[in-house]
Amino acid sequence: MLDPFRLLEALLLITLLAGLLGLISRRNLFLKALAMDVTGTAVVALFVLVAARSGLRTPILPAPLLDDAPEAWADPIPQAVILTAIVIGLSIQALLLVVITRLARLDPLLDTASFEQLSGAAVAPSHD
């Protein structure tokens, strides 16, 4: 029988690789931003899956009154790191989409090659 955690790990790794492939292979800036979001989401989900262990209790829940077994508490540090990563990822995506919206005024197709030509023309020295 296949372990469900192994299956989820495999699916998240495939999602991570699909996001990286989209980031490398696409020329449209919006599709690159979308691929970056997929990659970031897969990394966060993979971190949560790896950090999840069965039998651990969250530190915010009270212990049962009749349970004499020693408690195995979950470590809150990975949870804080994940929340921080989610907030930083969201702010980066928002900033990236604002920049892409501004660049769409120059080239509505948002093709990276056209922006490379624009930057090459702006940087090229003039031969007077």
Confidence (pLDDT) at 4? 83
What CATH code is carried by the domain that includes residue 36?
1.10.287.3510
Specify the pLDDT at position 85. 93
pLDDT tens digits, 51-92: 776 656 666 766 565 455 556 667 778 888 899 999 999 999
How far apart are alpha carbons 44 and 19 in whole angstroms?
A: 13
Average pLDDT in the 105-109 region?
A: 89
61 part of a folded domain: no
Q: What local confidence, expressed as pLDDT, does residue 117 receive?
A: 83
Between 73 and 126, where is the model more confident? 73
Contact between 92 and 44 (Cβ < 8 Å): no
State pTM to two decimals. Answer: 0.77
- Could you tell me if residue 67 is inside a domain? no
Is 121 within a domain?
no
Average pLDDT over residues 113-126: 74
Residue 57 pairs with which residues in a beta bridge? 73
pLDDT, position 127: 66
Quick: pLDDT tens for 9-37.
999 999 999 999 999 999 999 999 999 99
Number of domains composing the chain: 1
Exposure string over 70-108, b if 16+ CB within 10 A, otherwise e: eeeebeeeeeeebeeeeeebeeeeeebeeeeeebeeeee
Question: Is 66 a member of any domain?
Answer: no
Residue 117 inside a domain? The answer is: no
